Amino acid sequence: MSSFMTIPDLQKTPNMSKVRNLLIVKLSSIGDVVHALPVSAALKETYPHLKICWVVEQMAAPIVQGNPYLEEVITLPPDWRKNRLSMGSARLFAEIRKELRARHFDVAIDLQGLSKSALIAWASGAEYRYGYDWLRELAPFLLQRIPRQPESVHVVDQFMDVARFLGAKNTTIKFPLCIPPDEEKSALDLLDHAGLDLKHPFLVINPSSGGGGNKGWGAEKFSAFIDAFTAKTGLQIVLIGGKGDVEEEKSILSRTKWNPSSVVGKTNLKQMMAILKHCHLHLCGDTGSAHVAAALGTPIISLFGRSNPDRLAPYGQFQNVIHHREKCKEACRRFHETAPINSKQKCLSPPPACIASITVEEVVAKAIKLLEDNGIGHQ
H or E segment to which residue 226 belongs: helix 219-233
Domains of the chain: 21-165 (3.40.50.2000), 181-373 (3.40.50.2000)
pLDDT of residue 351: 66
Per cent of the chain over pLDDT 90 is: 74
Of 12-21, 40-49, 100-109, 225-234, the poorest mean pLDDT is in 12-21
pLDDT reported for residue 211: 53
Task: Report which of 51, 139, 55 is spatially closest to residue 97, judged by C-alpha positions.
Answer: 55
Find the range with the poorest average confidence among 37-41, 206-210, 240-244, 311-315. Answer: 206-210
**Res 326: pLDDT:** 77
Q: Of 89-103, 216-230, 295-309, 341-355, give the lowest mean pLDDT range.
A: 341-355
When pLDDT is averaged across residues 292-305 and rounded to a whole number, the result is 95
Per-residue confidence (pLDDT) for residue 24, from 0 to 100:
98
Which carries the bigger pLDDT value, residue 54 or residue 375? 54
pLDDT band, very low/low/confident/very high, at 343 (cuts 50, 70, 90): very low
Q: Alpha carbon of 221 to those of 256, 355, 368: distances in Å?
A: 10, 11, 17
pTM of this prediction?
0.90
pLDDT band at 337 (very low <50, low <70, confident <90, very high): very low
Span 170-204, pLDDT tens digits: 778 999 999 999 999 999 999 999 999 999 999 99
pLDDT (tens digit per residue) in 117-173: 999 999 999 999 999 999 999 899 999 999 999 999 999 999 999 999 999 987 789
Give pLDDT, residue 353: 78
Residues in Cβ contact with 96 at an 8 Å cutoff, skipping those fewer than 6 apart:
76, 80, 120, 123
- Say whether pLDDT at 58 is over 90: yes
Rounded CA-CA distance 18/22 in Å is 11
| Average pLDDT of the residues of the chain | 88
Candidates 366, 322, 328; CA nearest to 349 is 328
